[in-house]
Amino acid sequence: MPGTKRVFVKTFGCQMNVYDSERMSESLVPYGFTETDRIEEADVIILNTCHIREKAAEKVYSELGRLRHIKDVRRQNGKNTVITVAGCVAQAEGAEILARAPVVDLVIGPQSYHRLPDLVFRAQSESRRLVDTNFPEQDKFTKLPDRKVKSAPPTGAARAASAFLTVQEGCDKFCTFCVVPYTRGVEYSRPVADLVDEARELISRGVREITLLGQNVNAYHGVGPDGRDWSLARLIRALGEVEGLQRLRYTTSHPKDMSDDLIAAHRDEPKLMPYLHLPFQAGADRILAAMNRKHTAADYRRLIDKIRSARPDIALSTDVIVGFPGETEGEFLETLRLVEDIGFAQAFSFKYSPRPGTPAAKMEEQLPDAIKSERLQRLQHLLASQTSRFNDSCIGRIIPVLFERLGRHAGQIVGRSPYLQPVHATGARDLLGHIIPVEISGAGPNSLLGVIRAA
């Protein structure tokens, strides 16, 4: 009987986890599950976890502490609850999670999600604690049920105007600070035909904007309908022709794979939005080499010049790490200088966090937290001023906004500019899912305010 059991999914980490969470809950639908946002009524609770920094990984354990109580109360009412840890902590720690958190019934790594229904069933019927972190398996997407077979779409993103679509998984770059190559495995690109099909399915659900995802999305090289490997630029052009799709984005890119044809797509493909997230991590070449980033600061500057000449209004975003082992004050100043010279519309910055099993964690000269915090503060001050300046520069312009959701205040709707800024305006609910010109009347640190010009 469909719809009698409930699944609750909580997602941590990157957009790829958001996408995986949707696919996981969809995969349970044929087995009678519907998604719930009330954790107490869930028969299956999934924590889709992130291992990228220590803080991210620790969140899982504090969440599990909370779940113990919920599971106990449900048991007293005669109800069984399968508590599942998925995602990158599952992959990295495997059976250790069962030892550390007795409340957990099932540990499932990102390469095993197509086995989720079976594992949930076994955990329920056999009352066993199970671990499945088999690795690597590259074709989970083809083994997950077709997205069309669902009887009821889960709430949330599936009805939204904007959706994620994972086109590439894994990473072969092995930056010395990063766990992703260990938790997500080798690079794998999904075939073009599958992606076009899935894009069509998303559009039939009302999606107007698709963000193509990959840990190294611009290294995409999936097999095309002609049997050859297609680049991300070629995939973007093919998706650009899909009827009903209005906007395309992609994330996250590595500077090394920012090819000329992809840069040209920013000039030529009208549906590709003028926004690029391109992490540079550090401004000093010695640190970049120790990070195994495979590019210098000068390479990055040259790349940005090229991208800006192809698409002058492009909004740039980046990731930066401060306090990598051995980073001197002078080297940190080089990071600030690079930020100053380039000017970012948006940025994410982090204190270096040593991760088990990565080469950088074993390096000498680990820096004290106080130095990392102080550098992060200076960097974030600069980045915030750049974001504000960029937002302010939009005041007075008329910008097309894709409206996606209702705002917190009555009569308010919220959407995104081409540059990914949230834009708040007063407007009718039936504008959701449409791209409407908005005159920007105000700017805050992280969003814009505007007046709808025409419907």
Nearer to ligand F3S, 182 or 390 (CB): 182
Sole binder of ligand SAH in the list 252, 335, 387, 417 (CB under 6 A): 252
Q: How far is the CB of 290 from ligand SAH (least distance, A)?
A: 13
Asked if residues 71 and 34 have their Cβ atoms less than 8 Å apart, the reply is no
Binding of residue 88 to ligand SAH (CB under 6 A): no
- The span of 174-182, 364-372, 394-402, 412-420 binding ligand SAH (CB under 6 A) equals 174-182
Identified binder of ligand SAH from the candidate list 27, 49, 168, 353, rule CB under 6 A: 353
Q: Which is nearer to ligand SAH, 279 or 283 (CB)?
A: 279
Residue type, 421: Q
3-class secondary-structure state, position 46:
strand
- Give the Cβ contact number of residue 454 at 10 Å: 7
Distance of alpha carbon 133 from its chain centroid, rounded? 21
Cross-strand bridge partners of residue 321: 350
Please choose, out of 107-115, 181-189, 259-267, 349-357, the segment that lies near ligand SAH by the rule CB under 6 A: 349-357
CA distance 236 to 175: 27
CB closer to ligand F3S out of 180 and 245 = 180
174 binds, among ligand SF4, ligand F3S, ligand SAH, none (CB under 5 to 8 A by kind): ligand SF4
Tokens representing 147 are 């997205």
* Cα separation, 289 vs 296, whole angstroms: 8
Tell which one of 249, 355, 416, 424 touches ligand SAH (CB under 6 A). 355
- Least Å distance between CB 269 and ligand F3S? 27
Q: How far is CA 105 from the centre of its chain?
A: 26
Per CB under 6 A, residues contacting ligand F3S are: 13-14, 16-17, 50-52, 87-88, 179-180, 183-184, 215
How many CA atoms lie less than 13 Å away from 125 in the CB half-sphere?
6
Tell me which of 53, 71, 266, 375 binds ligand SAH, using CB under 6 A.
Answer: 53
Residues 6+ apart with CB under 8 A from 102: none
Q: Determine which residue in the list 215, 218, 253, 317 makes contact with ligand SF4, applying CB under 6 A.
A: 215
Q: Is 6 helix (H, G, I), strand (E, B) or coil?
A: strand
Minimal distance, residue 134 CB to ligand SAH, in Å = 23
DSSP-derived secondary structure letter, 106: E
Q: For residue 354, give Cα distances in angstroms to 54, 96, 440.
A: 8, 19, 42
* Residue 334 C-beta-side C-alpha neighbours within 13 Å: 18
* Other CB atoms within 10 Å distance of the CB of residue 210: 25
x/- map, 160-199, ligand SF4, by CB under 6 A? -----------x-xxx--x-xx------------------
* Cα–Cα dist 259/252, whole Å: 14
Of 81, 84, 189, 216, which one interacts with ligand SF4 (CB under 6 A)?
A: 216
Do strands 448-452 and 435-443 pair parallel, antiparallel, or not at all (unpaired)? antiparallel
Smallest gap, in angstroms, from Cβ of residue 98 to ligand F3S? Answer: 20
Nearest to ligand F3S of 87, 117 (CB atom) = 87
Q: In this chain, which of 29, 120, 321, 401 binds ligand SAH, going by CB under 6 A?
A: 321
State the residue for tokens 């099909």: 197
Residue 25 binding ligand SAH, by CB under 6 A: no
Length of the chain: 455
What is d(CA 242, CA 157) in angstroms, rounded to the nearest whole number?
Answer: 20
Does the protein bind ligand SAH through residue 346 (CB under 6 A)?
A: no
Total chain residues near ligand SAH (CB under 6 A): 17
Locate 47 and state its tokens: 């924590």
254 lines the binding site for ligand SF4 (CB under 6 A): yes
Q: What is the DSSP string of 231-251?
A: PHHHHHHHHHTSTT--EEEEE
Q: How far is the CB of 220 from ligand F3S (least distance, A)?
A: 16
| Minimum gap (Å) between residue 302 Cβ and ligand SF4 | 19
How far lies 343's CA from each of 269, 386, 387, in Å?
Answer: 24, 6, 9
What's the closest the beta carbon of residue 170 comes to ligand SF4, in angstroms? 9
Alpha helices in 205-296 (DSSP H): 232-240, 260-268, 285-290
In the complex, what is the shortest distance from the CB of residue 21 to ligand SAH, in angstroms, rounded to a whole number?
18
What residue 350 binds from ligand F3S, ligand SAH, ligand SF4, none (CB within 5 to 8 A, per partner kind)? ligand SAH
- Give the footprint of ligand SF4 on this chain (CB under 6 A): 171, 173-175, 178, 180-181, 215-216, 254
- Give the footprint of ligand SAH on this chain (CB under 6 A): 52-53, 177-178, 180, 215-216, 252, 254, 279, 281, 319, 321, 350, 352-353, 355
